[in-house]
Amino acid sequence: MSKIFILPKTSIELNRIRLKHPKNHQIECDYYCDNEQFYELNMRKNSYHSWFMNDCLIQDGNVYIITPIDPLFLMIPIIGSMDKQQSSNNYCSLMDIMADQNLDSTSIDLINKIFNDKLLKCIADVKSFESELFIRFNRERTMKWRIYNQQLCGR
């Protein structure tokens, strides 16, 4: 069955990553990632619509839109859960945190390419040792970052 997708122009090859949804921390959602950006799959339901594509009629009238998402929104529940499991003074390696999420090695490699110390410093305390990142969730930084993003969206 054919479906209609709207993709960003820059996305050449997207890889699927399954992570917990940042809102409810329970449901696993599919996110897509290239080497620089995360994308979220959104569906616009059109129950009584169809599409004409070339000489074909596509009965599924839904539109699937892949939109960019700030990857830090996806990391907050992951890093925050590590904060609850351990003493808040402990640093954890990013590799260990990703391994606890039951991700495959391809997904972990993609995440490591995107998340650098500069990006993670918005929501966590970060230390680097022998090219490996160690992080500790920082609620104060996270709240400042969320307020800043809220103000940007309000403009």
pLDDT tens, position by position, 78-101: 887 776 666 567 888 888 888 777
Number of domains in the chain: 1
Say whether pLDDT at 21 is over 80.
no
Backbone dihedral angles phi then psi of residue 112, each to the nearest 5 degrees: -65, -30
**Gap between the terminal Cα atoms of the chain:** 41
CATH of the domain at 44: 2.20.25.530
Pick the more confident residue, 145 or 16.
145
* SS3 label, residue 79: helix
26-30, 91-95, 100-104, 109-113, range with greatest mean pLDDT: 91-95
Query: Whole domain around residue 109: which residue ranges?
Result: 4-154
Say whether pLDDT at 143 is over 90.
yes
